[in-house]
Copies of this chain bind each other. A is one copy, B any other.
Amino acid sequence: MAGINKVIIVGNLGNDPEIRTMPNGEAVANISVATSESWTDKNTGERREITEWHRIVFYRRQAEVAGEYLRKGSQVYVEGRLRTRKWQDQNGQDRYTTEIQGDVLQMLGGRNSTQGGYAPQGAPQQQYTQSSAPSRPAPAEKPAPKAEPAMDDFDDDIPF
């Protein structure tokens, strides 16, 4: 073994988490998190901004936590690792998708935050928070890539 493969993201969810259940009953959550950076263009003097979207996947307990407490707009700290999956498009061509496999999930801003806000809970108030996955989270879980749903409802009312 060799190497360090670490990603740290702080940003806001662009949508509610997508939760699936694997054949063995374990949960998988996909979230899409935006980070943006801005700078002043040296040539034009204009202010510019670029937004980067990160596709993050959590498994098992963390997937459940994500499904229960995260919502579109929620601010999160995520620590994970890069993983590039190979798949084939309808033409049989090799395609690659890079995503972040989450190891640490921490919700930010507090549950009273008006900024994105977390899921309303009727259930017993659990103490979510940082939940760390062991080093290799799920030995064989390589979910087949699926058609990504269009993020067409993305622009309506993002609270930040």
Contact = CB atoms under 8 A, between A and B. Distances in A.
A26 B111 CA distance: 37
B1 A49 contact: yes
Contacts of A61: none
A157 B79 CA distance: 25
Contacts of A33: 3
Contacts of A52: 5, 81-84
A53 B54 CA distance: 18
A148 B55 CA distance: 24
B47 A149 contact: yes
Contacts of A43: 139
Given A113-B110, A130-B4, A10 B77 contact: yes
A114 B154 CA distance: 19
B116 A114 contact: no
B2 A39 contact: no
A98 interface: yes
B160 A35 contact: no
B77 A4 contact: yes
A121 interface: no
B114 A112 contact: yes
A102 to B, nearest CB: 14
A149 to B, nearest CB: 6
- Cβ-closest 8 pairs across A and B: A110-B115, A3-B35, A155-B155, A109-B109, A98-B98, A4-B10, A3-B11, A39-B136
